Amino acid sequence: MNITGTLRLLALAAALWGSVLVAGPARADGPRDHERARAALQAGEILSLQKVLERVQRRHPGDVLEVELEREGGRWVYELKLLQRGGTLVRLDVDAATAEVLEARPRARPEGPPSSMPAPPKSP
């Protein structure tokens, strides 16, 4: 990744991290989940999203499409959705304290036009 790509990724990561802190997790258990996440970061229980992305991108390069921070099984987990070269979509569960990838679920790009585009008409 060149310096421009790295800077773009860091800017995106900062924006995404801000939205995680402000909006909280998408599947929040309560209105104070974002406060718990911020407290975990300040207490050193979790790594910043920027640090996690730097480590994850080494083995799983791609554009970050979505980020969630969830509390699962007594630990914080970043749930990332990446779009990799060639159109492969990858969902990663990453330990927020160590940046260890707990699970990677790749999904190949479907064949044909995207669902938002109508299929071309068939010739008779």
C-alpha angle 52/24/100, rounded to 5°? 20
CB neighbours of residue 122 within 10 Å: 5
* End-to-end Cα distance, the chain: 47
pLDDT at 19 (0 to 100): 45
pLDDT band for 35, please (50, 70, 90 cuts).
confident
Percent of residues in the chain assigned helix, strand, coil, to nearest 5: 35, 25, 35
112 in Cβ contact with 71 (< 8 Å): no
pLDDT at 21 (0 to 100): 46
pLDDT in tens, 64-77: 999 999 988 999 99
Which CATH number, 3.40.1130.10, 2.120.10.60, 3.10.450.40, 3.90.1150.10, labels domain 37-106? 3.10.450.40
> CB neighbours of 120 closer than 8 A, spacing ≥ 6?
113
pLDDT in tens, 59-113: 999 999 999 999 889 999 999 999 999 899 999 999 999 999 999 999 866 665 5
